[in-house]
Structure 1
């Protein structure tokens, strides 16, 4: 049978060893480099841009190419836009307004290329009927002046069967 031996010793006194790392050194430890941000959704943004471009292109194709064909198939005839032709100038004239005032008015009429000879006397008659007897405040107001010009254009279109494209004022003085 074996004999068991035990060695008992007293602990040796230990001298604390100075630490190589001090608390200051620990605070100065380099921080790990930040991880690069992952680019999320870049593919989604590109896909959305491609889809939006396709939708816009489809809308343009429909509006300019398919829609006119649908109107023609439905029995509607698409009339071509009128082409600007000659400009008929009307000499300035004095028109009596309300309360003793007058309006000196001169204008030009833009006709289509299909317009026949326009009689200036008929234009003058419609113009005098349109402006005479109006109040001075109505004639001088810019919005009312534009409205009166549009009404004159409409009356001339009725007279000449839609051959008047626009009316331009060349002389407009109220006193």
Structure 2
């Protein structure tokens, strides 16, 4: 063979390796990307549903002083409640937030609304939801997250938690992704005049 033929053979072999690398490299990258996507990527819940919280463990019941709330048509309600924080709460929660929610829920209700078992149960259900929203852990969720959740529940109409309707407050509690400090609320006194 002549020297020219040998050079052409070496160049052809070198060109074949370059073509092989150019073809194989994208295939390897695609295989690695597919492996990461199907096996290694973090799993997220894109269904939009709230992640289920672990069941809270009830702590010791803390009774609060009774308060009097003005009802409609000159009537009043003397109501006492007790808070049951979750066991993880280091100290008993301050009752002022809960008593504020008692006033918000029961003010200007009528005796007729609260005389029936259904009306009283509906008011208590709303109260429990509002108390749980009032006792979210400090800083978690952030104010922006709270506002966004309130807007989602209210169809973009409500920014503040206190402005939610009873149904919206109950829906917000069912969608919480953090555990409130209060496990439950109990009536210790409920007298209407």
TM-score by length of 1: 0.53
- The equivalent residue for 2:101 is 126
Shift of 1:78: 5.9
Q: 2:66 aligns with which of 83, 92, 117?
A: 92
**Deviations for 1:6-61, whole angstroms, at most 9, x for unmatched residues?**
xxxxxxxxxxxxxxxxxxxxxxxxxxxxxxxxxxxxxxxxxxxxxxxxxxxxxxxx
In structure 1, the residue matched to 2:171 is none
Structure with a larger share of its residues in helix: 2
* Change beyond 3 A, Cα 1:170–1:158: same
Q: Is the 8 A contact 2:82 2:187 kept in 1?
A: yes
Aligned 8 A contact 2:63 2:83 in 1: yes
C-alpha RMSD of the superposition: 2.0
Q: What is the CA–CA distance in structure 2 between the aligned matches of 1:168 and 1:154, rounded to whole Å?
A: 13
1:136-155 residue pairs with structure 2 within 5 A?
136-155=111-130
Q: Whose relative contact order is higher, 1 or 2, with alpha carbons under 8 Å and at least 6 apart?
A: 2
- Give the Cα–Cα distance (whole angstroms) in 2 for the partners of residues 110 and 121 of structure 1: 14
Work out whether residues 85 and 93 of structure 2, in 8 Å CA contact, stay in contact via their aligned partners in 1: no
Question: Residues 78 and 123 of structure 1: is their aligned pair in 2 closer, same or farther, counting only changes over 3 Å?
Answer: closer
> SS of the counterpart of 1:151?
helix
Shift of residue 75, structure 1, vs aligned partner: 5.1
Confirm or deny that 1:170 pairs with 2:188: yes
Query: Distance in 1 between the 2:53 and 2:186 partners?
Result: 25
